[in-house]
Structure 1
Amino acid sequence: MGIIGIRTAILFLAALAWCSVLAAAAAGEVDGVFNVKDYGARGDGVTDDTKVMGTITAPPAGAWSGKNYWLMFYKVHGLTVTGGSTGLLDGRGWTWWRNKCKGYADCVTKAPTALVVMSCADVELRQFRSKDSPQMHIAVSQSSKVHLTQLTITAPGDSPNTDGVHISQSENVHVSRSTIGTGDDCVSISSRSRFVTVDGIVCGPGHGVSVGSLGRNGATASVEYIDVKNVHFINTTNGARIKTWQGGKGYAKSISFTDIKFTNVDHPVVINQFYVDHHHVPNMGAVALSNITYKNLRGTSKHKTAVDFNCGESGSCTNIHVNSVAITAADGGRTVSRCQNAQGDTSGYVYPRSLALNNNS
């Protein structure tokens, strides 16, 4: 993997190379540390350092340092990370899933995220692969103007909490032209995020593209201006999904899903305002959802219910617009929809024909 540009970036690459060697050393493969400057890297802001390519391998779970992340860019402005045809982050997640953590909740607590971009601006991650992260593959937090493109992110479909890209507290984030198949959301967008675009993604296996979970433990959420388009979901458990916790506060608004294709998806279109921890007794209220648009959705559903809008009774789902939807059953049968307390309108050809929203007026 190569890194172009500033001194901070090249020093970080040296650290990455060091981490990779430590992992190999733990396995008894080498006994040295390599510095990328010894192989032609300069980090002077002028020299193209991208010829330093290869695989960065995480330490196994037993040799982990105890941090909740493996690699991090922190407070970096103006950075491009590219891997060309050979760049690979290998998280060796199986050493965690089999030995160190069992199931979703345990892995959330123990397993690290592979790559974190935190408090950064003007960052581009492109043309590299990430596989088998112990937990989330790439997390973007408290950052702006971040572009992730031409990535290939993979993990087994039953691997816990291995989101492809997780976005939180960030704005002007673009995820494009990538293939993502993991054990959790291909892309997840959480609170205090705005102006996020997901464009040209092939997703599967995984849990789809999710806005949420929002409002956990009564928290106040804010998400707005989310544009998901040109996404193909293949054999995923969910497709276009919005999920909020019972008892949450705040809002999620101006969200669109456009030009979406589903192939054998369990639950293609979902709004779930009853996401709840079984150990938590929720109070009344919900994160308010408004101005949600679905346009040109097509494909097949594995189950009979292709569209499921499950909203609270407090008028928390309003201005839902559905235009041109054709989702049939993968087995050739008919599909149906469920619309509970969802207010909005439909236009154009809409199938399943049972899709009926309460009029906003």
Structure 2
Amino acid sequence: MAALYWLLYITMVILVLPSCFQGSNARLHDHKSKHHRETRGMISEAPVPPPAEPPAKSFDIDNSSSDPCIFDVTAFGAVGDGSTDDTEAFRSAWRAACAVNSSILLVPSNGVFMITSTIFSGPCQPEFIFQVDGVLMPPNGPKCWPKKDSKRQWLVFYRVDGMTFRGAGTIRGNGEEWWNLPCKPHRGPNGSTLPGPCDSPALIRFFMSSNLTVRDLYIENSPQFHVKFDGCEGVHIEGLSINSPALSPNTDGIHIQDTKYVGIYNSLISNGDDCISIGPGCSDVDINNVTCGHGHGISIGSLGMQNSEACVSNISVRNAMIRNSDNGVRIKTWQGGMGSVSDITFDSVYMDNVKNCIIIDQYYCLSKECRNQTSAVYVTNVFYTNIKGTYDVRAPPIHFACSDSVPCTNITMSEVELLPFQGELIDDPFCWNAYGGMQTLTIPPISCLQDGMPESVHETISLQCL
């Protein structure tokens, strides 16, 4: 039986390999236009600044080579009818493509391909591209999920240095049945909040990989996080459209943790949780020209959960638009954590009907059982420049709630102009143990920031990450 399997596998590879030697006829068109996808329930276009530059240690986003070798999953037995399990065909295509220089694993545009939870492992040969031009999706909900498969992840790319994940197609998450599990928090009519959370799969996860490019895909309705980067270095994300309903729980658009040298550019994200979330262990992240719709805004954190250490530094958010969101730009930490958040810049961010436009919350908690603790993640050197737009008057537009024992320091505000979307301001901006200053007058006026540095500043500095 094993000999028959390998004979069949080698035969499929031989059938595919001729496309590697057909010159220009074997070239794959690079579908870079995504305008046809931006109208699928997404928010309107983001402001267009000058072209974004990648971070200092980013990598070339173009996979330049001679004629690529194309491995079409249908040549390995994938059916693409939306119901047949095509997992084994994808795994076979991956093994073949991963072993060849300048190869393309192609998911063609004329199919809807269903595969189960899969780990695609490297290392692969240089200039490897995973191109999705059709529809790729998991089984439809927890009842259809194979019992042997992990319920915490669907597509995992492990040690795939130098890979590009792109295409003109759609990654369809089929998350609706997962959101309705009884232990999921519900914010809508007839919903309830019960103990949880349930296991639900993150849709796409990159783990322990470097020199990655993810671009031009439409990703929708993930059961949990849409795209997640964990333990990666050198990530370029561009031209993504991510969409799920406002009431879909835990559906962060892009989440990064223990990852550095990241560029996120020219993307549209509208979902039920953080538009972009930055977890512990992240540094040198550049976010430019991103539009966030309904959701929880752009968040650093939560950090310091269960008395853990969190180190986040050198994060830049520029030319962003946030609309109809529960939060704008947010830093959130748990009491009892350690470490620091430092050198954070929010520059040229436009708010449209946003609650909590600017918020630092060092009392973040998901229940009423949390208690104040003496240690906290130290927040320092946070710059807000040219933050303008309108806010939902149900919450103050500016909220700095810093730890009793570890104050926030060096908060700088310049050209902040926030007006009510409708109605009148109910609460003034709020500050607690927050130190900083204003380079210009702000709207609304902020009189609660304390000048200078706290007396305990030397003890606070010792808590910073090395």
Normalised by the length of structure 2, the TM-score is: 0.69
Find the partner of 1:208 among 287, 297, 301.
Answer: 297
Contact preservation (8 Å) 1:226, 1:254: yes
Find the partner of 1:163 among 249, 252, 256.
Answer: 252
- Cα gap change, 1:43 to 1:55, in 2 (>3 Å): farther
Residue 310 of structure 1 corresponds to 401
Which region of structure 1 is more displaced relative to structure 2, 307-316 or 229-238?
Answer: 307-316
Find the partner of 2:178 among 96, 105, 108.
Answer: 96
In structure 2, how many angstroms separate the alpha carbons of the residues matched to 1:250 and 1:209? Answer: 21
Contact preservation (8 Å) 2:161, 2:211: yes
1:14 offset after TM fit, Å?
Answer: 4.8
The answer on 1:345 being equivalent to 2:449 is: no
1:339 offset after TM fit, Å?
Answer: 1.2
Find the partner of 1:331 among 418, 422, 437.
Answer: 422
In structure 1, how many angstroms separate the alpha carbons of the residues matched to 2:237 and 2:163? Answer: 12
- Cα gap change, 1:72 to 1:267, in 2 (>3 Å): same
In structure 2, how many angstroms separate the alpha carbons of the residues matched to 1:218 and 1:137? Answer: 27
- Cα gap change, 1:100 to 1:274, in 2 (>3 Å): closer
Secondary structure, aligned partner of 1:96: helix
In structure 2, how many angstroms separate the alpha carbons of the residues matched to 1:122 and 1:12? Answer: 22
Residue 130 of structure 2 corresponds to none
Contact preservation (8 Å) 1:338, 1:355: no
- Cα gap change, 1:182 to 1:276, in 2 (>3 Å): same
- Cα gap change, 1:12 to 1:36, in 2 (>3 Å): same
- Cα gap change, 1:344 to 1:114, in 2 (>3 Å): same
1:45 offset after TM fit, Å?
Answer: 2.4
Contact preservation (8 Å) 1:20, 1:57: no
- Cα gap change, 1:100 to 1:44, in 2 (>3 Å): farther
1:344 offset after TM fit, Å?
Answer: 0.6
Aligned-pair identity in percent equals: 31
Partner AA of 2:144 in structure 1 = A
Measured against aligned partners, the alpha-carbon deviations of 1:133-181 in whole angstroms (never above 9, x if no partner) come to 0000000010000111100001110001000000100000111100001
Contact preservation (8 Å) 1:73, 1:118: yes
Instruction: Give 1:247-326 correspondences, 5 Å limit.
Output: 247-278=336-367, 279-303=369-393, 305-326=396-417
Partner AA of 1:25 in structure 2 = T
Partner AA of 1:45 in structure 2 = N
Instruction: Give 1:106-185 correspondences, 5 Å limit.
Output: 108-185=197-274
Which region of structure 1 is more displaced relative to structure 2, 100-109 or 308-317?
Answer: 100-109
Instruction: Give 1:239-250 correspondences, 5 Å limit.
Output: 239-250=328-339
In structure 2, how many angstroms separate the alpha carbons of the residues matched to 1:325 and 1:164? Answer: 27
- Cα gap change, 1:237 to 1:36, in 2 (>3 Å): same
1:348 offset after TM fit, Å?
Answer: 1.6
1:350 offset after TM fit, Å?
Answer: 1.0
Partner AA of 1:63 in structure 2 = C
Contact preservation (8 Å) 2:151, 2:199: no
The answer on 1:25 being equivalent to 2:84 is: yes
Residue 232 of structure 1 corresponds to 321
Which region of structure 1 is more displaced relative to structure 2, 136-145 or 90-99?
Answer: 90-99
Which region of structure 1 is more displaced relative to structure 2, 351-360 or 154-163?
Answer: 351-360
Structure number with bigger Rg:
2
- Cα gap change, 1:31 to 1:81, in 2 (>3 Å): closer
- Cα gap change, 1:73 to 1:48, in 2 (>3 Å): closer
Contact preservation (8 Å) 2:165, 2:214: yes
Secondary structure, aligned partner of 1:157: coil
Contact preservation (8 Å) 1:140, 1:167: yes
1:247 offset after TM fit, Å?
Answer: 1.1
Residue 459 of structure 2 corresponds to none
1:227 offset after TM fit, Å?
Answer: 0.5
Find the partner of 1:55 among 108, 126, 135.
Answer: 135
- Cα gap change, 1:291 to 1:46, in 2 (>3 Å): same
Residue 69 of structure 1 corresponds to 153
In structure 2, how many angstroms separate the alpha carbons of the residues matched to 1:19 and 1:191? Answer: 39
- Cα gap change, 1:267 to 1:117, in 2 (>3 Å): same
Which region of structure 1 is more displaced relative to structure 2, 103-112 or 178-187?
Answer: 103-112
Secondary structure, aligned partner of 1:162: coil
Which region of structure 1 is more displaced relative to structure 2, 324-333 or 171-180?
Answer: 324-333
Contact preservation (8 Å) 2:380, 2:408: yes
Greater fraction of residues in strand: 1
- Cα gap change, 1:283 to 1:33, in 2 (>3 Å): same
Residue 36 of structure 2 corresponds to none
Query: Where in structure 2 are there 5+ consecutive unaligned residues?
Result: 1-27, 31-62, 109-132, 187-193, 454-466
Contact preservation (8 Å) 2:71, 2:106: no
1:83 offset after TM fit, Å?
Answer: 1.1
The answer on 1:357 being equivalent to 2:456 is: no
Measured against aligned partners, the alpha-carbon deviations of 1:104-147 in whole angstroms (never above 9, x if no partner) come to 78675410000001111000000001100000000001000011
Partner AA of 2:179 in structure 1 = W
Secondary structure, aligned partner of 1:202: strand
Partner AA of 2:205 in structure 1 = V
Partner AA of 1:54 in structure 2 = G
- Cα gap change, 1:35 to 1:68, in 2 (>3 Å): closer
Secondary structure, aligned partner of 1:173: strand
